[in-house]
Structure 1
Amino acid sequence: MPRGKAGTAAPARKPRAPKGPKLPAPFTRGTVLQDLRKKQWKLGDEVGKGGFGLIYLASEDLGSPMTSTAEHVIKIEPHSNGPLFCELHFYQRVSRPEMIDNWVKSKKLKYLGVPKYIAHGMHQRDKENYRFMIMPRFGTDLQKIFEGCGKQFSKETVLALGLRMLDALEYLHENGYVHADIKASNILLGFSSKQQQPDQVYLVDYGLALKYSPDGSHKPYKEDPRKAHDGTIEFTSTDAHKGVAPSRRGDMEILAFCMLQWLCGKLPWEDNLLDKDYVANSKIKYMKDIPSLTRACFRKGEMQDEISKFLTLVSKLGYEEKPDYNKYRALFHEGLKKLGVKDEWKLNLPIAGAPLKKGIKRKSELGAEASSPKKTAVEKVRGTPKGHATAGSRQSTPKLSAKPRQGTPKTTRGRGTPKVSSPRVHTGINGEAVTSPRKSPTKVQTVKSPVKSPAKGSISKPSSTRRKVKRSKAPKVDACVQTSPR
């Protein structure tokens, strides 16, 4: 940079742009991409977006119009990015269809929850190069289902999910890889015959997948503060918090944390995820004392023998030790047997339409729970105590207007005018003006309409007539590939 004239400072340098993956500009619907085997694929609608790039529906039938029932997707990222490049190498080495089919046959499985590699290629647009990969389409992710049912799965569902994840992880480990980022948002429902498969789950997103024995021998245990806390903070292993390379032990520990959250709803260290050292120290402390961990998660004293035993076995694993997958399976099978479950392949996930909690009886509300926003502060439905909204519930209820009905006199209080009990106007959670009656010692079971002001000096009584409100039907759940930012 040349120096400025005498008495003047040299111009400041422009700051460098932060390094990291960048998203490509959207691709036009109908764009045709050609993979390395010269097979062409037509792009449909965008169905996902991550830190690496975009995901589109894809069809190999170029002559027919694109529909929302396409059974393939294409991941696209700029060639300068890296996540999809790493994931692509994993798929080519581990997820070839013949490899997965042979494993399923040898282990006598119904399916394996690992996606199959289909094809990949390069594409140029506006003098910029892009990398893409074709893979099977999947349904919604487990995280959305978990949140939609009140953040708690039944023990039956958790043990069945644990079995399917054990199958997938054993396959990865036997082929020299670890996943390192197991979580509900990376577990997707299957998709086949133009619809979701509620009893199939697949472990996806191999951007952090790593070979734990690149030269035939396991990587040594070595802590590196520069790599500390890699992965998803609430689930990542205690080794990852210390900067140690991912291992099979780490995958088992992450799976145990996931199953624990699915059972109890919230992990003890989730109250302060911004403090990574606090999270790390909490996990290290609890993994040395499993009974204290289960007590912190299940404060009502529920018996959770299977997850407690699983955590205990995982806590005793050596860094380079091979997990005893069959022992873990036997533990989960025993738990399912106690529950009277005969078919371990049935997940019994609480997907759209299932009630969130006891006491909710309206059929019109059950179908809308997955898509409606939080209740306003004055929604009063049958089964809700004391006429107050339950925080976080997803019932569909009508919006109430603060504007009085035509013909209803406006109640004012001037000098010498006695105080009259009338509806209060305030702002609901969603920002709209709503009305609610003044506090009453009795429970409110129905939505009341505003009433006319009574005679001077008298106390108003709510009308016994119910308001007729047209309720909208819940939208259908669109099965598509879901992605989440890392």
Structure 2
Amino acid sequence: MPKMPRVSKAALAKVVTAAVKRKAPAKHKLAEEFPSGEILFDVAKGQWKLGPVIGKGGFGLIYLATDDLRAPVDKHAQYVVKIEPIDNGPLFCELHFYQRAAKIEMIDSWVQERRLRYLGVPKYIGTGRHEKNGRTYRFMVIQRFSTDLQKLFVKSQTFLPRTVMALGLRMIDALEYLHENEYIHADIKAANMLLGYKGAKIAQDEVYLVDYGLAFRYSVDGKHKEYKEDPRKAHDGTIEFTSRDAHKGVCPSRRGDFEILGYCMLQWLCGRLPWEDNLSDPDYVRDSKIKYMRNIPSLLKACFPGRDHPDAISSYLSLVVKLDYDEKPDYKQLRKILLDGLHKMGCKDEWKLHLPPSGTISTTPIITKVQRKRKSPLPQDDSGEPSFVPPKQRKTTSKVVRSPVPAVMTSPRRRKVASPGKTKPPKTLSNGQIDLSSVSWAARSPSADVKKTKSATGPKRTPTKRRVKRSRKPEMDAAIQTTPGLKRNR
């Protein structure tokens, strides 16, 4: 019997490791695109008519939809439908959150009890399954929203401090509701914040926290999840905003949500976080966050080099960093910090977001020539005062400027001279200039306002005047141009 070749322990260990190594999770399958007019039936036997695709993600597609089957789905539809193959997981996780914590009656009751204008959490409308070409799909119906804040942030680079404080207040409202219903969002960022959509118009002062694909139930029957680090789950979420707990693989918590929101507000204020220079290295990002959160002043100095920053963001981060893993945040105190920040800026309405509608913030109003000509109202700043004062306009008039010096002009319309009698024509000297002593006082008088010389008995057009008008000699033009009170013929 032949001898078996010897195998080193190192080689054997590699073989065993490869055998027991887990397979990588399969990529999510994309749903095929359904034609406009496709009808879906939810579990409550409601019918939904699909319109065009308005979004696409790793889980599937998003369609405009309506519950009115008689009319086509237009661009002003009030609902959207998310569809993915039933084997995929993100929509399944999101759907569980909506069914448990985002029912219409639950949100309406919360808003009424706390006297809010609205709550930035989408309302769950319906769900169901759909068969197409031998495949089964899961779908969910929610209310429609408008553009996301990331598009506005990319164009404007930063948000106004009052905008950041107002957005933070609305997110605190949403997070308090989620936490009271035992859920964590875990992926707060501008791309997951959408403006409202009402009556075919964008609701500029309403913002909603969406995308609950990473939503996590941190407490079951009142028992909080234990703090346990798991390297296999490390760095979950969006790398630049991920909490320190998530970097270590710890289950999401309430303090993690507020830490992520703090990073978002910080980026909106300064434009770039200190660790964004190397996002490809998760360990570097984690270590940077741990270092800076131990020393909040150093973090603010790195974000605002040589610049002032709102005191509210410093107070907010200082309060969040003191929270324990399973501690309930003081929502009232967090809200008060941002409210005080707004009041210091002179903002009284906390519900006004002051977002740039076009994605740009103009700091220098531009007054065009057309605006000056039409005397358009001047742009105003926040205090209601004009932010730009144009130079004084030069008055123009069709009247001849009166002067004690005689003005010899030609015009198709002629007036009578105020003094009676025939006006003597002025004499012309040998050098081509006019002899002022020969001009009658009536022609010099300011009351004459002469555009022509004409009397009741005299000719309609005097030879001297005719010669002045028709003269094309350069020396004559120069004499008229340089003589005070005379205007060059045109």
Shift of 1:351: 1.5
1:34 alignment counterpart: 41
2:153–2:359 Cα contact (<8 Å) kept:
no
Report the Cα offset of residue 237 of structure 1: 0.2
2:310·2:341 contact (CA, 8 Å) conserved in 1? no
Q: Which residue identity is paired with 2:140?
A: M
- Structure 2 partner of 1:139: 146
Give distance in 2, aligned partners of 1:264 and 1:143.
15
Distance 1:90 1:269, change over 3 A: same
Of structures 1 and 2, the one scoring higher in RCO (CA 8 A, sep 6+) is 1
Matches within 5 A, 1:168-183: 168-183=174-189
1:18 and 1:211, CA in 2 relative to 1: closer, same or farther beyond 3 A?
closer
**Alignment partner for residue 217 of structure 1, among 207, 214, 223?**
223
Counterparts of 2:236 and 2:369, CA distance in 1 = 45
Q: Pick one of 94, 103, 119 that aligns with 1:112.
A: 119
Partners of 1:362 and 1:295 in 2: CA distance: 40
Cα offset for 1:216? 2.3
Give 1:112 deviation, angstroms.
0.3
Cα distance change on mapping 1:226 and 1:91 into 2, 3 Å: same
* Shift, 1:66, TM fit: 1.7
Match of 1:152? Answer: 158
1:358–1:59 CA distance, 2 compared to 1 (3 A): same
Decide whether aligned partners of structure 1 residues 361 and 214 sit closer, same or farther in structure 2, where only a CA change above 3 A counts.
farther
Aligned to 1:343: 349
Aligned residue number for residue 330 of structure 2: 324
1:416-435 mapped onto 2 (5 Å cutoff) = none
* Separation in structure 1 between the aligned mates of residue 243 and residue 24 of structure 2, nearest angstrom: 32
Instruction: Give distance in 2, aligned partners of 1:132 and 1:86.
Output: 12
Is residue 2:296 matched to residue 1:290? yes
CA distance in 2, matches of 1:353, 1:73: 24
TM-score (norm. length: structure 1): 0.70
Q: Which residue matches 2:308?
A: 302
SS in 1 for 2:223: coil
Which residue does 2:80 correspond to in 1? 73
Aligned to 2:358: 352
State yes or no: 1:264 paired with 2:261.
Answer: no
User: Over aligned residue pairs, what C-alpha RMSD do you find?
Assistant: 1.7
User: Helix, strand or coil for the counterpart of 2:351?
Assistant: coil
Task: Give the Cα–Cα distance (whole angstroms) in 2 for the partners of residues 24 and 332 of structure 1.
Answer: 42
User: Which residue identity does 1:346 align to in structure 2?
Assistant: K
Change (3 A) 1:353 1:238: closer
Q: SS of the counterpart of 2:219?
A: coil
| Aligned counterpart, 2:26 | 19
Indicate the structure (1 or 2) with the bigger Cα radius of gyration. 2
Amino acid at match of 1:80: D
Per-residue displacement from partner, 1:422-450 (whole Å, max 9, x unpaired)? xxxxxxxxxxxxxxxxxxxxxxxxxxxxx
Aligned counterparts of 2:129 and 2:229: Cα–Cα separation in 1: 38
Decide whether aligned partners of structure 1 residues 103 and 271 sit closer, same or farther in structure 2, where only a CA change above 3 A counts: same
Partner of 2:340: helix, strand, or coil? Answer: helix
Alignment match of 1:274 (pick from 275, 280, 283): 280
Equivalenced residues, count: 348
Q: 2:319 aligns with which of 313, 316, 335?
A: 313
Superposed displacement of residue 357, structure 1? 5.0
Look up the equivalent residue of 1:245 and give its one-letter code. C
**TM-score, with structure 2 as normaliser:** 0.69
Q: Which stretches of structure 1, 4 residues or longer, exceed 2 Å deviation after superposition?
A: 353-364
Question: Any gaps of 5 or more consecutive residues in structure 2?
Answer: 1-22, 371-490
Tell me the amino acid that sits aligned with residue 188 of structure 1: L
